Amino acid sequence: MKKKIGILVTILIFSLIAATLVYDYTFNSEHRNITEEDASISISANELLSQFQKDENSATTIYLDKVIEVIGKITEVEASSIILNNQVEAELLKLPNKHKVDLKSFVKIKGRCVGYDELLEMVKIDQATIQ
């Protein structure tokens, strides 16, 4: 009898722990960590923008929310972002490091594509890191 109760209590405790873990995983799961994800596509800033300007819908299907690598020349450095070729704006996770972001130098960044901004005529990348 005592043994049965013991087993029951153990099962109960384990299922409670399991339920809590599942709940936590579903409802409080962490945001994606873009830095740790591998880029699915590597592309030049020029090519990326021209694909969005040619056919925004299909470019959206290909690139939206994907982690991509973009290569281009730094044409502007702002408080929290850099602009490549005046075509792609990458919002950096860490503030631009002065040693790494010389104007006019070529860089490769990795980040998540969030879409095309037709007011600025730029493709936007967020959570980016300089590779």
Partner 1 sequence: MKIVNKLLALLFVTTLFGALNSINAQGKYIDKKGKINFEASEKLFEPVKAKNESVTAIINTETSEIASLALMKSFRFKNSLMEEHFNENYIESELYPKATFKGKLLDFNFSKLTEKGEKIAVEGTLELRGHKKSISTILDVYKSSDGKIFMKGSFKVTPQDFAIEIPSIVRNKIAKEILVSFDFKLSKQ
- List helix spans (H) across 1-131: 2-27, 45-54, 56-63
Binding mask 77-116 for partner 1 (x = CB under 8 A): -xxxx-------x-x--------------------x-xxx
Which listed residue (2, 30, 54, 99) binds partner 1 by CB under 8 A? 30
**Smallest distance, partner 1 to C-beta of residue 104, A:** 20
Q: Tell which residue, 55, 54, 123, 56, has the closest CA to residue 91.
A: 123
Other CB atoms within 10 Å distance of the CB of residue 70: 29
Q: Choose the binding region for partner 1 from 14-22, 25-33, 39-47, 100-108 (rule: CB under 8 A).
A: 25-33
Which residue lies nearer to partner 1 by CB, 13 or 76? Answer: 76
Q: Which chain residues interact with partner 1 by CB under 8 A? A: 26-32, 60-61, 64-65, 78-81, 89, 91, 112, 114-120, 124, 126
